[in-house]
Structure 1
Amino acid sequence: MKLERLLAMVVLLISKKQVQAAELAEMFEVSVRTIYRDIETINRAGIPIVTSQGSGGGIGIMESYRLEREWLKEEELFTIASALQSVSSMYEPASHSTAYQKIKHLIPEKSAEAFQHQTEKWFIDMTAWGQTEDQKALRENISAAIDQLSTISFTYTNASGETLHRQTEPYTLVCKAGHWYLYAYCLIRNDFRFFKLNRMNDLTILYQSFTRKDIQLDTLPWDKNWYQKDRLTELVILVQPAARQRIREWFGNEVLHYDKGEICRAVISLPDDQWLIGFLLQFGKDIEVLKPLHIRDKVKDTIHQMQKVYET
């Protein structure tokens, strides 16, 4: 991943005076062009990187800039190392020269035991149950296309079962609610779209370069699209005790309203589409849609259609 590579490059440049771009490209298994883009990213982060030509030249940190070992405290290194271990649940490390190993070598010997304890304290496994190699390979191929600024094409099956051909400029892989998505600029719709990876097939890297648009990922643009007012409908749901904790996990305790006794209602706003019906059905008999009536009717109709299937 790019983040892991950037961290590894910074740590490497701390310990070495200069490194050749070709050497970095071979080490991280990317192109020299990608290395120079990474150098620009590191420069923008406030660490001045300089390049020099000729014999003995290469890439290094500006001599007048002091990047002390204490630039990151041990506790911060523990956190970064733990995060990198979690990232490795998605990608196999290319070699022992990963960012995790380099950070580990920055830890003083007297703190080695504490480092092991802290990095084993928590682990975020972002893979799905029954993780398949196909899904892992798909993420790695998309990641490579993002690094290379290459457009990709694929067939995509939406929530309604419709299969469409898509050609996109890939921007960001996003793990949300245990599922992986691609945030990309769709060249057919001429707008950004969110694609669920397990609905994608026949991925092809087209090697047609594109220029990244200026987007602010910290604003979570996919969430903004999801919660656009014209897509939302307000639901009033009767919630049985068995489903209350799951509703809290999804929407927070503030959506639950208690009437007389144990009667509990939830008021939530969600996009009115086919996904909504599937989401509601996962709660089974533990919830009942009270309003709006057209959503209640859709749920009832879906249940009746399912019943017909199992009666045959």
Structure 2
Amino acid sequence: MKERVTNMKIDRAIGIINEILKRDRVTVKELAEKFEVSVRTIHRDIDGICMAGIPVVSYRGGHGGISIMEGFKMDKSALTKDELNNIILGLKSITSIQDNNNINILIDKLSPSDTASLSINDTIIDLSSFYKGTLSEKITIIRDSIEKKNLIEFEYFSSRGKSVRKIEPYILTFQWNEWYVLGFCKLREDFRLFKLKRMVKLMDTEKLYVERNIPEHKKDFNLMFKDKNKIKVITALVHRSLEYMLVDSYGIDSYEVVDKDTLKFSFEYVNFQWALRYVLSFGSKMKVIEPEEIVEAIKGESKKMFEDYNM
């Protein structure tokens, strides 16, 4: 029995528990579609969750599905310390961006009376941002709209300016330290990724949409920013005092030491304006070597700034 719990994917188990808590009752088929696994796999996961001490009960009929038994008492003996840590930390990360009393109750039931036996109190996962107040509301609206298959509408700020968008929301995701929603944009007639903090006046239109099949390449979010035909490379010399910034953004393997004061740094970019803003953020402590188009753009920006400050 212990082996079955250990083999269960903890991240998917957390996801299943979260779905049940969010919706009170959900079908196995819906869970299989959401996590892109077979119905048989979901049944095995549910068995594992039950063996871990969380009683999942099934209901038959037109409004059937599965839910967590009300008023259960958690038997944590079937979980290892690491497994329990992972589940509690996963649930705590959810509460950082969405107030949900059911999740807090489950955390209390899962947490041991001797908190010193686990490291949950010295680890904090916060998936929110400076926009935490509005972020939680946006996440709630989007999740509800995904569940109901309702179109959402919002004003969106991008490099092209402000526009009004209507999209069919499909996937809410936390990527690259930001929250995004993948949806079919009615304006562009294609699947697009939208950053939540650039949305304002977000609303559920309460208009149903017919669900589409998402192309596999659209689910690979890294590919959406990695058009191989557009990728270019910037090479620059950076002052050693800003080494921490290179480690933060691109890792310790992204540069080489030239001398005690200088690092040689290279990174890929697709969007020209973003790349220009990034290198300018280093000020005089970065000197771009190539490509020439970035070098010339920096000269132009530097000239404009000099003129502005000497008016």
Classify the TM-score, shorter chain. 0.7 to 0.9
Report the Cα distance in structure 1 between the residues aligned to 2:211 and 2:305, rounded to whole angstroms. 47
Unaligned runs of 5+ in 2: 1-11, 33-38, 48-56, 68-74
Shift of 1:269: 1.1
TM-score (norm 2): 0.74
Unaligned runs of 5+ in 1: 11-26, 62-67
Residue 73 (structure 1) aligned to one of 80, 87, 92 = 80
**2:100 corresponds to 1:102:** no
Residue 30 (structure 2) aligned to one of 9, 29, 40 = 40
Report the Cα distance in structure 1 between the residues aligned to 2:162 and 2:13, rounded to whole angstroms. 33
Report the Cα distance in structure 2 between the residues aligned to 1:205 and 1:168, rounded to whole angstroms. 10
Aligned-partner SS, 1:211: coil
Aligned-partner SS, 1:143: helix
Aligned-partner SS, 1:304: helix
Letter in 1 for 2:109: H
Shift of 1:190: 2.7
Using a 3 Å threshold, how does the CA distance of structure 1 residues 38 and 163 change in structure 2: closer, same or farther? farther
Q: Which runs of 4+ in 1 moved over 6 A?
A: 2-5
Report the Cα distance in structure 2 between the residues aligned to 1:171 and 1:138, rounded to whole angstroms. 14
For residues 270-299 of structure 1, what are the alpha-carbon distances to aligned partners after superposition, in whole Å with 9 as ceiling and x for unaligned?
Answer: 113322222222222221111001012222
Letter in 1 for 2:266: V
**2:92 corresponds to 1:52:** no
Aligned-partner SS, 2:200: strand
Match of residue 273 from structure 1:
272
Aligned-partner SS, 1:202: strand
Aligned-partner SS, 2:119: helix
Report the Cα distance in structure 1 between the residues aligned to 2:138 and 2:115, rounded to whole angstroms. 36
Question: What RMSD in Å do the two structures reach over aligned CA positions?
Answer: 3.4
Alignment of 1:132-281 (within 5 A): 133-160=133-160, 162-206=161-205, 207-214=207-214, 221-259=220-258, 262-281=261-280
Q: How many equivalent residue pairs?
A: 274
Asked if the contact 1:243/1:287 (under 8 Å) is kept, the reply is no
Asked if the contact 1:171/1:182 (under 8 Å) is kept, the reply is yes
Shift of 1:53: 4.0
Shift of 1:213: 2.4
Aligned-partner SS, 2:159: coil
**2:287 corresponds to 1:297:** no
Asked if the contact 2:115/2:121 (under 8 Å) is kept, the reply is no
Using a 3 Å threshold, how does the CA distance of structure 1 residues 301 and 114 change in structure 2: closer, same or farther? same
Using a 3 Å threshold, how does the CA distance of structure 1 residues 240 and 5 change in structure 2: closer, same or farther? closer
Asked if the contact 2:149/2:209 (under 8 Å) is kept, the reply is yes
Aligned-partner SS, 1:105: helix
Asked if the contact 1:158/1:199 (under 8 Å) is kept, the reply is yes
Asked if the contact 1:238/1:288 (under 8 Å) is kept, the reply is yes
Identity across aligned pairs (percent)? 20
Using a 3 Å threshold, how does the CA distance of structure 1 residues 116 and 236 change in structure 2: closer, same or farther? same
Report the Cα distance in structure 2 between the residues aligned to 1:58 and 1:171, rounded to whole angstroms. 24
Shift of 1:195: 1.5
Aligned-partner SS, 1:259: strand
Using a 3 Å threshold, how does the CA distance of structure 1 residues 106 and 310 change in structure 2: closer, same or farther? same
Match of residue 17 from structure 2:
7
**2:96 corresponds to 1:86:** no
Report the Cα distance in structure 2 between the residues aligned to 1:60 and 1:154, rounded to whole angstroms. 34
